[in-house]
Chains A and B, each alone.
Chain A
């Protein structure tokens, strides 16, 4: 953020210097950075601060009492359910990440290196985005009749003679949840990876080939390292989206599974705002730690 503000300041300074002639450059700079800072303060910092404050409050059934109490956190960390639910959340994030990465990388690789014509490339890329023209919820819910006990998937499998009885675990299971996640979020992996792949200097690939590297060696030693920033950006998207989700888990598991988002939404539904806030704070910290660790592997800033 500070860097961005700095750039804005540097670029705009000569023009803006005239109207604020009486002020020093530094003051003008602060003023120019102020709108963005104010927006971030009002819509990002303040709400988070509020959530943190409320997480220390107490609640009865229908009223919230301002206080400074660790009760919510004590309950949260004292309950085995919390650990189980966090574990489930990580599980969803990890499996979804692995699947979206595998699919996303393959799709991006195909688009970037196998399609020669730019027109076809753009057309195929747009094709990937078509499912995103409808809402998240619709894309998710449309899986339900497909995967159901008497759904198309089971009917087809039975007709082909692959199974005798419908597969129960297709719907309302972890499988269904992860399938929906992968379907919903793979594009978030494809886009950044495709983007970094397009920037790879093609002469590097030629050099690798000239030096006798096989296709696989080129992939592992040239393309993969150069695509890391894209993978990392995609990872951050997917991990944060999955960890913050609650509706996909609710619908696809038939309310039978829980992740942290559902814990929060249940609390809100029952008017337990302080408890929800405490859970949200813990989740926020967890996600920040995860992203902090991810960023240690790759410097994505130089790619932006």
Chain B
């Protein structure tokens, strides 16, 4: 870890924390009592970071126990073991699946200090007033319920939120520019025979099917009514195209966890694949060129948020609200944005990032100095820009949100067949 970077950052942190502490109107519980509180959080690897738990202990006093699982396991746990967690860090499409089980409780937005600053995607659904809403499970469609005990999703802001948005991003294909050696512009390249035996897809059915749909649509093979809610016929056609490609040896492997995707790319086993932003960061920090390639058909996007367990009450519930307020107050946002994600309240994160970092990650500007990952590895040199441009350029070109379909069960069975084919 670069010593200088660390010092600069810790200075920033302390300074920022002081600002945040004085600016936060939320009631803080006495440290003495919160010391013994333990909140159990589980979620996907993206935001379940030990650094966050450490910082919570420092700033808020209570203990946050983190468990990282894959998306399927997260869904399973949220749906079947409500007493095994206090805080569920899940994605919006998972929320659509899990909310009907009644294992989560709605959150009172009046207790969320930065609620008004949360970006429009999570409230009205529109990034800017002119934006059109993409296909799939857009976060705002499952973000609100009618009241504290509401079971069905509301169509607009109600003051009762299912998940407090934490991070989100626009996903695309990751490539190894050094091994491909030519520009990549379209999703169709995933099935280009040129990359036979060197392509990969993620083996999480609900997300994988969307990447497939982006490809099939880009190829002009299928016109979808809604990629996030396909008909059986559309599913069959999509699977047929990919099954054929699989049988022809197009794919080197499928991946299910973050580190698998990193290793596939870093080792050169794969040169083009579905990928997540921090996986790109991880590959780059090993000194291997890797690009999160913006494609002309747009991005497949996802959003995550924090949900509270139904069984949370009293002091633990208050602590959870404190945690949420702290989460949105900027430190985590800055931490996540330095990995290439976006924070739900970008303006608070700005205080925790250097002008160079903010310009590079959020505004899509040229880096004025070396950009480092939170771990201290160099990701970009001065003069480089982020793949895909600024925040509005990237999030404004979302073609589809991760989703769960009405025909989900059918799709899952077809997915199993695809894997076994």
Contacts and interface: CB of A to CB of B under 8 A. Distances in A.
B79 A81 contact: no
Contacts, number: 82
Given A85-B420, A255-B203, A269 B255 contact: no
Contacts of B412: 270, 272
A148 B269 contact: yes
A145 B253 contact: no
A69 interface: no
A151 B268 CA distance: 10
A81 B416 contact: yes
Interface string B248-263: 0001111110000001
B267 interface: yes
B90 to A, nearest CB: 13
A256 B267 contact: no
A62 interface: yes
Given A81-B420, A266-B419, A269-B73, A145 B267 contact: yes
Interface string A79-119: 10100110010000000000000000000000000000000
B101 A63 contact: yes
B100 interface: yes
Contacts of A168: 197
Contacts of B253: 172, 253-256
Contacts of A243: none
A256 B203 CA distance: 9
Contacts of A172: 252-253, 269
Contacts of B70: 269
A271 interface: yes
A233 B271 CA distance: 45
Contacts of A262: 419-420
A62 B267 contact: no
A168 B2 CA distance: 39
Nearest to A259: B420
Nearest to A84: B420
A164 B75 CA distance: 46
A197 to B, nearest CB: 40
Given A263-B416, A271-B75, A271-B76, A256 B251 contact: yes
Interface residues of B, number: 36
Main secondary structure of the interface of A (DSSP, over half): loop
B254 A256 contact: yes
B98 interface: yes
A258 interface: yes
Contacts of A84: 420
Nearest to A267: B416
Contacts of B72: 269-270
Nearest to A275: B413
A61 interface: yes
Nearest to B202: A255
Given A149-B267, A255-B255, A61 B416 contact: no
Nearest to B404: A61
A270 B412 CA distance: 8
A150 interface: yes
A79 B410 CA distance: 13
A262 B263 CA distance: 22
A150 B98 contact: no
Contact of A62 (B98, B251, B269, B420): B98
A256 B101 CA distance: 33
B100 A62 contact: yes
A178 interface: no
Interface string A141-153: 0001100111100
Nearest to A271: B76
B34 interface: no
A239 interface: no
B80 interface: yes
B79 A62 contact: yes
Given A61-B97, A171-B269, A255 B75 contact: no
A171 B269 CA distance: 10
Interface string B223-251: 00000000000000000000000100001
B419 A258 contact: yes
Contacts of B98: 62
Given A61-B409, A63-B101, A81 B417 contact: yes
Contacts of B101: 62-63
Interface string B344-386: 0000000000000000000000000000000000000000000
A171 B263 CA distance: 13
B408 interface: yes
B293 interface: no
Contacts of B80: 62, 271
A294 to B, nearest CB: 27
Interface in B253-298: 253-256, 263-264, 267-269
B205 interface: yes
Contacts of A266: 416, 419
B194 to A, nearest CB: 15
Interface in B76-115: 76, 79-80, 97-98, 100-101
A263 B420 contact: yes
Interface string B112-141: 000000000000000000000000000000
Nearest to A254: B253
Interface string A133-177: 000000000001100111100000000000000001001100000
9 contacts: A61-B408, A61-B409, A62-B100, A255-B253, A258-B420, A262-B420, A263-B420, A269-B72, A271-B76
The 4 closest A-B pairs by CB, nearest first: A254-B253, A255-B254, A258-B420, A269-B72
